Amino acid sequence: MKRLPLLLFSGLGPSLVSLGCGSNDFQVTGIEARLVASPGLVEFGAVPIGTAGESTLTLAAADGSVRVLAFELVGPDAALFSIAQNELPTVDTETELDLQLGYAPLEAGFHWTELIILTDEPEGQSSHSIQLRGQGAEGSLRMWPSILDFGPVSSGSSREGTVSLSNEGEIPLTLESWTFSGSEASSFQGLDLPQTIESGQELTLSLRYSAADEEPAAASATLVLAGAAPPGSLSLRANDCSTADSALYDRDADGVSWCAADCDDEDDAVRPGGTEVCDGKDNDCDGTVDEGTSCYDNDGDGYTADGGDCHDGDTSVHPGAAEIPGNGVDDDCDGTVDDGALDGDGDGFTTSAGDCDDADAAASPGEAEVCDGKDNDCDGAVDEGTSCYDNDGDGYSVDDGDCDDTDRAIHPGASERANGMDDDCDGTVDEGSTWYDDDGDGFSERGGDCDDGDDAVNPGATEIVGNGIDDDCDGRSE
């Protein structure tokens, strides 16, 4: 309460004037003052505009009993101060009173008032004056950034973001709460409040976005604080590709953003067009996990390749399936094709499964062909592809000296031709032809040697005058 009625008495005249006060009490001349007020000056200090500061004034009696008749606040700023006292008390040497005082500045600057206390003491009525003083301080708070984008948030999930604050004023500020506006305001939530930020201090506040769906969301947030104007509106957004920051919406830096259908933008191993591997993730973002890999049941028969399915493209083939004799298939994936009782040589293939010699374990479909005179792979040809087989049909195998068993024109005894190949497989290329240097002087006939039987005659030789020979093959003998 800012003011209590001052009770006036006719016996109280101008002679009762306050003359001074000590550090802890106030004395009135003319009578023996019994009321003691402490402190003599109530200093509220700096109080943020729009808030209220509090202080306590203790009243006691030095001797005997003192009854308070009235309280009154006087002075130009009296309206800014208050007294929280509903009754007029009596104090004595045994009973003290803590008088609660308040100061609520409405503008910046220093303010003061006087608290007048009228008392009825044993010697008569007396007036006491206590000065109240305070400073209205204006706070200054800076906030950054002005836009907080939460990025992509899947439906039913939430993500937190932060803003930074700096108290650039001279007084502490109390941060009370956030208010949100906009159609998606209910999807955003402020955290960490209330708290106080001291002058010169910086702190970080967290906000949370909870996605009800994956549609773009936007709202505005305003910080509610005491003693200072809000530091400006904070724009909030999420799932908004139209204004997206590329780095924010490609969090895993895999080159594909959430806006481009990256189904897990926190994992660079997951993106559209990625390679599916056995990791329990949808690496290629097609909605299916691990498909096409050995740990996926590609044919839907309940078994994967890792689980023993030897043909994961056929639902009738898997561990535990009934073996069908004579169909050439290992139906139950036990490593044996058809009924094992029909596999005479134990190589995993029966005659009906294509074994061309069920008495020889070295002969079966898929077996490697070797030089042994047998059809090891049961394809109808013996020793094909080996060194003892005439693969080009020229009558010679590699073992017989054929130096190129893929060319019928190359074999021992073939005619040497000027073609850069060893046609007769004698280890020399193009001998006896115009391409070959028969005399070993470094020049062939094709290379300009006019006598490839004499190593002293070639395009690089020195002409000998008078010998009647064209030594340097320039067309002249002298």
Cα–Cα nearest to 99, from 110, 109, 113, 89: 89
- Report the alpha-carbon distance of residue 240 to residue 273 in Å, rounded: 23
Q: Does residue 145 sit in the same domain as residue 239?
A: yes
Q: What pLDDT score does 3 carry? A: 35
For residue 172, give both structure tokens: 């502490």
Q: Does pLDDT of 351 surpass 50?
A: yes
- CA distances (Å), origin 240, targets 145, 160, 219, 282: 17, 16, 12, 24
| Mean pLDDT within 360-371 | 89
Q: Does the residue 6 lie in any domain?
A: no
- Report the alpha-carbon distance of residue 165 to residue 195 in Å, rounded: 12
| Mean pLDDT within 423-452 | 83
Q: Does residue 119 sit in the same domain as residue 206?
A: no
Q: What pLDDT, in 10s, does the model give residues 19-69? A: 233 333 434 333 445 889 999 899 999 888 878 899 999 999 888 888 999
Q: What pLDDT score does 31 carry? A: 43
Q: What's the 3-state SS for the chain? A: CCCCCCCCCCCCCCCCCEEEECCCCEEECCCCCCEEEECCEEEEEEEEECCCEEEEEEEEECCCEEEEEEEEEECCCHHHEEECCCCCCEEECCECEEEEEEECCCCCEEEEEEEEEEEEECCEEEEEEEEEEEEEECCCEEEECCEEECCCCCCCCEEEEEEEEEECCCCCEEEEEEEEECCCHHHEEECCCCEEECCCCEEEEEEEEECCCCCCEEEEEEEEEEECCCCCCEEEEECCHHHCCHHHHCCCCCCCCHHHCCCCCCCCCCCCCCCCCCCCCCCCCCCCCCCCCCCCCCCCCCCCCCCCCCCCCCCCCCCCCCCCCCCCCCCCCCCCCCCHHHCCCCCCCCCCCCCCCCCCCCCCCCCCCCCCCCCCCCCCCCCCCCCCCCCCCCCCCCCCCCCCCCCCCCCCCCCCCCCCCCCCCCCCCCCCCCCCCCCCCCCCCCCCCCCCCCCCCCCCCCCCCCCCCCCCCCCCCC
**Residue range(s) defining the domain that contains residue 171:** 141-243
Q: What pLDDT, in 10s, does the model give residues 457-470? A: 888 888 888 888 88
Q: Which amino acid is it at 183?
A: S
Most confident of 42-51, 100-109, 420-429: 100-109
Question: Among the three residues 216, 243, 270, which one is the final residue of a domain in this structure?
Answer: 243
Q: What pLDDT score does 9 carry? A: 29
> Is there a contact between 125 and 15 (Cβ–Cβ < 8 Å)?
no
- CA distances (Å), origin 390, targets 268, 372, 410: 54, 14, 12
How many structural domains does the chain have? Answer: 3
Q: Does the residue 379 lie in any domain?
A: no
Q: What pLDDT score does 108 carry? A: 86
Question: Among the three residues 214, 243, 272, which one is the final residue of a domain in this structure?
Answer: 243
Q: Does the residue 237 lie in any domain?
A: yes
Q: What pLDDT score does 306 carry? A: 92
Q: What pLDDT score does 339 carry? A: 61
Question: Among the three residues 194, 214, 243, which one is the final residue of a domain in this structure?
Answer: 243
- Report the alpha-carbon distance of residue 400 to residue 299 in Å, rounded: 50
Q: Does pLDDT of 208 surpass 60?
A: yes
Q: Which residue has the higher pLDDT, 16 or 322?
A: 322
Q: Does residue 36 sit in the same domain as residue 130?
A: yes
| Mean pLDDT within 223-231 | 82
Q: Does residue 57 sit in the same domain as residue 163?
A: no
Q: Does residue 155 sit in the same domain as residue 131?
A: no
Q: Which amino acid is it at 150?
A: F
Q: What pLDDT score does 115 carry? A: 96
Confidence (pTM):
0.41
Q: Does the residue 92 lie in any domain?
A: yes
- Report the alpha-carbon distance of residue 407 to residue 410 in Å, rounded: 6
Q: Does the residue 214 lie in any domain?
A: yes
Q: Does the residue 312 lie in any domain?
A: no
| Mean pLDDT within 385-402 | 88
Q: Does residue 93 sit in the same domain as residue 158?
A: no
> Is there a contact between 71 and 119 (Cβ–Cβ < 8 Å)?
no
Q: Does the residue 329 lie in any domain?
A: no
Q: Does the residue 197 lie in any domain?
A: yes
Q: Does residue 201 sit in the same domain as residue 172?
A: yes
Q: Does pLDDT of 181 surpass 60?
A: yes
Q: Which residue has the higher pLDDT, 143 or 33?
A: 143
| Mean pLDDT within 384-412 | 89
Q: Which amino acid is it at 268?
A: D
Q: Does residue 133 sit in the same domain as residue 60?
A: yes
Cα–Cα nearest to 185, from 239, 230, 221, 147: 221
Q: Does pLDDT of 121 surpass 90?
A: no
Q: What pLDDT score does 34 carry? A: 81
> Is there a contact between 318 and 308 (Cβ–Cβ < 8 Å)?
yes
Cα–Cα nearest to 160, from 190, 129, 115: 190
| Mean pLDDT within 91-99 | 87
| Mean pLDDT within 201-211 | 96
- Report the alpha-carbon distance of residue 364 to residue 362 in Å, rounded: 7
Q: Does residue 157 sit in the same domain as residue 202?
A: yes
